Amino acid sequence: MAGTFSDSWRLTKTSFRLIWEDTALLVFPLVAGLSSLALLVLFGVGTLVIAPAILVGGSLENSYAIVGIALFVVAYFGTTFVTVYTTAALVGAATLKLNGQQPTASDGWRIARAHLGRLALWALFSATVGLVIQLIASRFRGIIGLVISAAAGITWTVVTYFMVPVLLYEHQGPIASLSRSARLFSGTFGRSLVSNLALGLIIGAGLVAAIVLGVVGLFLLFGGSVLVGVLVVIAALAVAIFVLLVGATAEGILRAALYRYATTGKIDRDLIPPAYLASAPPPLSWTPR
């Protein structure tokens, strides 16, 4: 048990240390967030523009419903793909750093682009499962539906936790990759759970600090100090966004580090696992230590 907590804390610290050493890693979740936001904006604008131009059954209400559903599905699949693709780029770049290299953001994108087809298929499959879970849960009202949705969602998240690194570094089919991801998580259950919990507590503390700062800003704002209050509220929003950005980046790095640990049993940053050597040559040259 002591070893589990010790290893988990080392893995968590490594995630934040890599960000400290190379803030360029923050670009991947930033791109994911901005791209997803753009897709949601296009969904809203597209619904408002397209629906009136295409009357379904002569009814504007039907038109909004059908066009809205169609664009929602497109946006949902789009945001899922963006998440999977940027996560793959982050995992790829983080893996190079864990292997003692100094990658740039373009190296991460290059790794993800080399597996574009597999990542796109996985995004499609993952989004479909997500929709099916929500559809099944929606058939049950009240607390039962919420329990079903939460249980299925958590189970799916656990089973697919290592899917992205498995897709990047192990040449297997989708079913075999899914099974492999589940086995890897099962084999590192304690360390995966504790390290993710530690990460969540750290990010949660940062968000609580941002909320407290925002509340102080609101008190100042309504207490007469308008300019100072506005500046404090803006600062609170900036802190919250930064914390979420760092959290998303650290989670991706942690996933890469845990996969590396699961496939080698090691935490050393300069170790080159055989699974990586079997994949496409890395964009940077390296020399084993």
pLDDT block averages, 10 residues each, the chain of length 289: 76 90 92 90 76 62 72 87 95 90 89 93 91 83 81 89 93 85 90 91 95 92 84 94 95 93 73 46 35
pLDDT score at 53: 63
| Domain membership of residue 65 as a residue range | 2-277
Residue at 76 is within a domain: yes
| 36 CB burial (10 A radius; 0-12, 13-18, 19+) | middle
Radius of gyration of the chain (CA): 22
pLDDT score at 39: 87
Indicate the helix (H) or strand (E) that contains 168: helix 163-169
Residue at 288 is within a domain: no
pLDDT score at 239: 95
pLDDT score at 274: 47
pLDDT score at 283: 38
pTM of the model: 0.84
Residue at 286 is within a domain: no
Residue at 184 is within a domain: yes
pLDDT score at 161: 93
Residue at 25 is within a domain: yes
CB neighbourhood size of 150 (10 A): 12
Residue at 284 is within a domain: no
Residue at 283 is within a domain: no
Residue at 82 is within a domain: yes
State how many domains the chain has: 1
